[in-house]
Amino acid sequence: DAGVTQSPTHLIKTRGQQVTLRCSPISGHKSVSWYQQVLGQGPQFIFQYYEKEERGRGNFPDRFSARQFPNYSSELNVNALLLGDSALYLCASSPRGGVNYEQYFGPGTRLTVT
């Protein structure tokens, strides 16, 4: 079975632009979480979605938004990009809601903001 897939792999954007990142969970998994990982730090939780509803939110500004589709894939949107948004964005899927279960991570999207 395919693992978690994310697209694109790499992305370069300019300050002020908007970006959309995409994630497809493992087949049968209904929960998707998004994380931001800056070099030298652990992943920081952004959102969790389960059955198309937001179930958790981290300490990120409103410029960050996400949604989950009926097929359980997900998009993360970031508006008005700042240089500090440059990071690896990781998507993780889990078979059930909540965060007490193993998270399976995708390879990530590396975003560079110039």
The residues binding another protein (CB under 8 A) are: 33, 35, 40-45, 48, 55-58, 90, 97-100, 102-108
Q: What is the DSSP string of 7-68?
A: E-SEEEE-TT--EEEEEEPPTT--EEEEEEE-TTS--EEEEEEETTEEEEE-S--TTEEEEE
| Least distance in angstroms from the C-beta of 61 to another protein | 16
Rounded distance, CA 85 to CA 83, Å?
5
Rounded distance, CA 66 to CA 108, Å?
16
CB 67 within 8 A of CB 57: no
| Least distance in angstroms from the C-beta of 16 to another protein | 28
